[in-house]
């Protein structure tokens, strides 16, 4: 097998990897509540992470350094999280695609158990590190990492200017807005249900396989500007961290830019923003291998996003979030010797609206649409996870109902524990390029409609 053909096979297999690593809740840790003396509802919509309120954004941009809690618990930066769920898909997955130790459908699973180290060290440094074990994949890995080596505040013209640095392992994991991908809706995903194959680089291309180093500025609590780059880690390091390459290994630092402007008035907040990222990568030929024999592939993402939050007095809360990404792909290396064209594009739109009553009862409606031209390099036919017409198109509607009985300042055992119980239903009208027989093996998009019932606990 030639190296480019090998890399095409690996790309075709990526959705299989995605099947076992897509459950990704985090960043609502009681260690932060203990450190700050604030209940979960101060920083999180619905009293449970990861969707941030203005205070939550300020805490994150502030480098997780804010204190205020007292006693021994305030200085213990450790938390533990577990997510367990029941997954039903409209049609069972084919027999040869069943996850080990699970059935073809109607599975109960222990999706993940995570340990966290999170908090501030003095007034200038802080961070969050998550380590996760999944019973579905029966693997453990270094999950989300967002470190803030140094941040400080200046007075500029009577306004506050915060400058900070980050070291992180996933593009957007450090972003303060939940329109972006690392902490975007849906905040819980089934670890067993099929997921669409196509995703933009910002969402999945370099996640947990790179180190990001960025510098940011936040002026007058309004204007946020961040710039930096990402470089993939070595196979040796990735092996030990339990993470594999996504789209490949970077041949040079991949630039990352983010700008946003936020308004806060009355009991409301809103923002508009934009992002840019470009990466030159040697395509992946396996979890820990890439090839440079045919040069590099090139990905460029442009994104615009916006959100609105009505916080009221905490009785009625409503949010709207949206992001659109356009990606240009020049797959020169992957296309080499294949006879296929090298240049493609991919578009993705994600939006959701949520309503919460007393930060306890919530409902969220989401819409995710991905589209682009046929791309036989990345999307080949294949049972369940492939695309018969090689198109990336998917269209999903998501509805989720949640109950968060804790997380308030008067809650039982506050702030030492929290719990979210939820029911989520995802309906696909398109999946991997089609509605009917999308994979060339007779499966329809609606066969992947997923019911997820979950319990998400954190201590």
Partner 1 sequence: MPGFLLRAAFTVTLLTAGSGTAFAAGDPAAGKSVFQSTCSICHSVQPGQNKIGPTLSGVVGRKTGSVAGYTYSPQNQAANLTWDAATLDKYLEAPRAMIPGTKMTYGGLKDAQKRADLIAYLATLK
Choosing from 239, 337, 409, 441, the residue that interacts with partner 1 (CB under 8 A) is: 409
CA neighbor of 246 nearest in space, from 186, 292, 217, 203: 203
Query: Interface with partner 1 includes 54 (CB under 8 A)?
Result: yes
Q: How far is the CB of 421 from partner 1 (least distance, A)?
A: 23
Our finding on whether 318 is near partner 1 (CB under 8 A) is no
Is 67 a binding residue for partner 1 by CB under 8 A? The answer is: yes
- Does 66 participate in binding partner 1 (rule CB under 8 A)? yes
Q: Which helix (H) or strand (E) holds 5?
A: helix 3-21
Identity of the residue, 45 or 281, whose beta carbon is nearer to partner 1 in the bound complex: 45
Parallel, antiparallel or unpaired: strands 125-134 and 107-121: antiparallel
Establish if 244 lies at the interface with partner 1 (CB under 8 A). Answer: no
Ramachandran category for residue 158: left, alpha or beta (phi over 0 → left; psi -120 to 50 → alpha): left
206: three-class secondary structure by DSSP: coil
- Stretch binding partner 1 (CB under 8 A), from 1-9, 60-68, 431-439, 450-458: 60-68
Burial class (CB in 10 A: 0-12, 13-18, 19+), 374: middle
Q: Which position among 6, 16, 17, 37 is part of the footprint of partner 1 (CB under 8 A)?
A: 37
- Using CB under 8 A as the binding rule, whether residue 39 contacts partner 1 is answered as yes
Convert 304-316 into a string of H (helix), E (strand) and C (coil): EEEEEEECCCCCE
Site for partner 1 in 285-314 (CB under 8 A): 313
What distance in Å separates the CA atoms of residue 228 and residue 134, rounded to the nearest whole number? Answer: 31
Q: Tell me the sheet residues that pair with 349.
A: 324, 369
For the purposes of burial, counting CB atoms within 10 Å of the CB of 272, is it exposed (0-12), middle (13-18) or buried (19 or more)? Answer: middle
Report CA Rg, the chain.
21
Q: Using the rule CB under 8 A, which residue among 267, 399, 403, 413 binds partner 1?
A: 267
Nearer to partner 1, 44 or 350 (CB): 44
Q: Which lies closer to partner 1 via its Cβ, residue 153 or residue 272?
A: 153
Mention every residue, 6+ apart, whose C-beta is less than 8 A from residue 426: 186, 193, 396, 397, 398, 448, 449, 450, 452
Query: With binding defined as CB under 8 A, does residue 55 bind partner 1?
Result: yes
The one among 42, 125, 151, 174 contacting partner 1 by CB under 8 A: 42
CB of 33 to partner 1, least distance (A): 9
Q: Interface with partner 1 includes 68 (CB under 8 A)?
A: yes
The nearest distance, CB 71 to partner 1, in angstroms, is: 8
Q: Should residue 155 be labelled a site residue for partner 1 when binding is judged by CB under 8 A?
A: yes
Verify cis geometry, omega within 30 degrees of 0, for the bond prior to 52.
Answer: no
Q: Is 442 in the site for partner 1 (CB under 8 A)?
A: no
**Judged by CB under 8 A, which stretch of 35-43, 243-251, 294-302, 324-332 contacts partner 1?**
35-43
Q: What part of residues 208-237 is at the interface with partner 1 (CB under 8 A)?
A: 221
Residues binding partner 1: what is the number (CB under 8 A)? 31
Residue 304 contacts by C-beta under 8 Å, 6 or more apart in sequence?
Answer: 272, 273, 274, 275, 323, 324
Nearer Cβ to partner 1 (73/78):
73
> Closest separation between CB of residue 79 and partner 1, Å?
18
Bridge partners of 284, per DSSP, are 290
Binding range to partner 1, per CB under 8 A, among 1-9, 80-88, 135-143, 152-160: 152-160
* SS3 category, 133: strand
Give 303: exposed, middle or buried? Use CB within 10 Å, 0-12, 13-18, 19+: buried
Residues 327-386 that bind partner 1 (CB under 8 A): none
Cα 309 to Cα 353: distance, rounded to the nearest angstrom:
10
> Which is nearer to partner 1, 276 or 308 (by Cβ)?
308
Of 62-70, 81-89, 129-137, 290-298, the window that binds partner 1 (rule: CB under 8 A) is 62-70
Of 52-60, 103-111, 252-260, 342-350: span binding partner 1 (CB under 8 A): 52-60
Q: Where do the DSSP E strands lie in 135-222?
A: 139-148, 151-156, 159-168, 210-219
Whole-angstrom distance, CA of residue 430 vs CA of residue 412: 44
The site string for partner 1 over 171-210 (x = CB under 8 A, - otherwise) reads ----------------------------------------
Position among 10, 32, 48, 59 found at the interface with partner 1 (CB under 8 A) = 59
Of residues 391 and 408, the one with the C-beta less far from partner 1: 408
- Closest distance of CB 119 from partner 1, Å: 12
Q: What is the 3-state composition of the chain as percent helix, strand, coil, each rounded to the nearest 5?
A: 15, 45, 40
Interface residue list for partner 1 (CB under 8 A): 36-39, 41-42, 54-55, 58-59, 62, 65-70, 123, 153, 155, 158-160, 221, 264-267, 313, 409, 415
């Amino acid at each position: 097998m030639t190296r480019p053909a090998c890399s095409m096979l690996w790309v075709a297999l990526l959705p299989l990897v995605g099947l076992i690593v897509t459950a990704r809740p985090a960043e609502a840790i009681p260690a932060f509540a203990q450190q700050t003396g604030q209940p979960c509802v101060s920083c999180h919509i619905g009293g449970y992470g990861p969707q941030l309120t203005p205070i939550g954004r300020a805490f994150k941009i502030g480098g997780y350094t804010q204190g205020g809690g007292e006693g021994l618990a305030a200085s213990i930066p450790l938390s533990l999280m577990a997510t367990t769920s029941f997954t039903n898909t409209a049609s069972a997955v084919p027999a040869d695609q069943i996850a080990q130790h699970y059935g073809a459908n109607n599975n109960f699973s222990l999706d993940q158990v995570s340990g966290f180290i999170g908090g501030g060290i003095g007034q200038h440094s802080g961070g969050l590190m998550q380590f996760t074990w999944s019973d579905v994949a029966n693997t453990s890995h270094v999950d989300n990492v967002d470190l803030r080596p140094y941040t400080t505040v200046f007075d500029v013209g009577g306004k506050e200017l915060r400058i900070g640095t980050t070291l992180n392992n996933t593009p957007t994991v450090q972003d303060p807005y939940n329109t972006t991908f690392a902490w975007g809706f849906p905040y819980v995903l089934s670890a067993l249900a099929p997921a669409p194959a196509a995703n933009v680089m910002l969402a999945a291309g370099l996640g947990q396989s790179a180190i990001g180093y960025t510098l940011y500025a936040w002026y007058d609590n309004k204007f946020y500007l961040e710039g930096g780059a990402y470089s993939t880690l070595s196979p040796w390091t990735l092996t030990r961290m339990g993470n594999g390459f996504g789209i490949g290994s970077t041949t040079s630092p991949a630039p990352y830019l983010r700008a946003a402007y936020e308004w806060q008035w009355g009991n409301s907040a809103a923002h508009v923003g934009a992002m840019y990222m470009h990466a030159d990568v040697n395509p992946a030929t396996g979890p820990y291998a890439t090839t440079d024999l045919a040069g590099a592939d090139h990905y460029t993402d442009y994104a615009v996003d916006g959100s609105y939050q009505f916080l009221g007095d905490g009785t009625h809360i409503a949010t709207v979030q949206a992001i659109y990404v356009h990606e240009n792909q020049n797959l020169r290396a992957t296309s080499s010797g294949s006879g296929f064209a090298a240049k493609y594009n991919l578009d993705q739109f994600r939006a959701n609206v949520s309503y919460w009553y007393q930060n306890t009862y919530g409902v969220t409606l989401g819409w995710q649409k991905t589209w682009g031209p046929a791309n036989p390099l990345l999307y080949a036919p294949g049972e369940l996870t492939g695309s018969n017409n090689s198109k990336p198109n998917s269209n999903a509607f998501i509805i989720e109902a949640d109950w968060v009985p804790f997380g308030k300042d008067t809650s039982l055992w506050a702030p030492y524990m929290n719990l979210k119980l939820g029911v989520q239903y995802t309906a696909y009208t398109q999946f991997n390029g089609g509605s009917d027989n999308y994979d060339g093996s007779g499966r329809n998009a609606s066969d992947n409609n997923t019911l997820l019932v979950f319990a998400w606990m954190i201590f």
